[in-house]
Chains A and B, each alone.
Chain A
Amino acid sequence: MAYAKINADILRTLQPPGRTYYGALGLVAVVLSFGIYAFAQQWQHGLGVAGYEHPILWGVYITNFVFWVGIAHSGTLISAVLFLFRAKWRTSVARAAEAMTVFAVMTAGLFPIIHIGRPWFFYWLIPYPNERQLWVNFQSPLIWDVFAITTYLTVSAMFLFLGLIPDIAAVRDRCTDWRKPLYRVLALGWSGSTRQWFHHAALYGFFAALATPLVVSVHSVVSWDFAMSILPGWHSTIFAPYFVAGAIFSGLAMVITLLIPLRKLLGLEEYITIRHFENLAKLIIVTSLIVGYAYITEFFIAWYSGSPFEQGTFYDRMFGQYRMLSWGMFTCNVIIPLVFFWKRVRTNLIALFVVSIFINIGMWLERYVIIVTSLSHDFDPANWSGVYQPTWVEGAITAGSFAFFFFFFLVFIKNFPSISITEMKESSQHAELFDSNLAR
Chain B
Amino acid sequence: MGTLLGVYDDGTKAADAIATLRDDGLNDISAYMPTPHQTIEKLLRTSTSPIRTFVLVGGVLGCVAGFALPIYTVYDWPLIVGGKPLISIPPFVVIAFEMTILFAAILGMLGFLGLAGLPQMRPPLHDARFSNDHFGVAVRCTNAQVETVRAKLEETGAIEIRTDA
Partner-B contacts on A (CB < 8 A):
2-4, 7, 127, 133-140, 143-144, 147-148, 150-151, 154-155, 158-159, 162, 165-166, 169-170, 172-174, 188-203, 206-207, 210, 213-214, 217, 221, 422-423, 425-426, 429, 433
| Chain B residues near A196 (CB-CB < 8 A) | 116-118
Contact B98 A147 (CB under 8 A): yes
Contact B35 A425 (CB under 8 A): yes
Size category of the B interface is 35 or more
Q: A173-B132, A194-B40 are in contact. Are A199 and B35 (CB under 8 A)?
A: no
Contact A134 B132 (CB under 8 A): no
Per the bound structure, the CA–CA distance linking A203 and B131 in Å amounts to 20
Q: 1/0 per residue B109-120: CB within 8 Å of A?
A: 101110111111
Q: List 6 A-B contacts (CB under 8 A).
A: A173-B132, A190-B123, A195-B30, A197-B36, A198-B49, A217-B97
Total A-B contacts with CB atoms under 8 angstroms apart: 181
Contact B133 A7 (CB under 8 A): yes
| Chain A residues near B31 (CB-CB < 8 A) | 193-194
| Chain B residues near A425 (CB-CB < 8 A) | 34-35
A223 to chain B, nearest CB (A): 12
B61 at interface, CB cutoff 8 A: no
| Chain B residues near A135 (CB-CB < 8 A) | 73-74, 76-77
B57 at interface, CB cutoff 8 A: no
B99 at interface, CB cutoff 8 A: yes
Q: A138-B95, A429-B11 are in contact. Are A198 and B32 (CB under 8 A)?
A: no
Contact A197 B41 (CB under 8 A): yes
Q: A127-B69, A135-B73 are in contact. Are A144 and B91 (CB under 8 A)?
A: yes
Contact B116 A206 (CB under 8 A): no
Among A134, A169, A193, residue most surrounded by chain B Cβ atoms (within 10 Å): A193
Per the bound structure, the CA–CA distance linking A151 and B49 in Å amounts to 25
Contact B133 A158 (CB under 8 A): no
B94 at interface, CB cutoff 8 A: yes
From A155, A170, A202, A203, contact of B132 by CB (8 A): A170
Contact B131 A162 (CB under 8 A): no
A71 to chain B, nearest CB (A): 20
A9 to chain B, nearest CB (A): 12
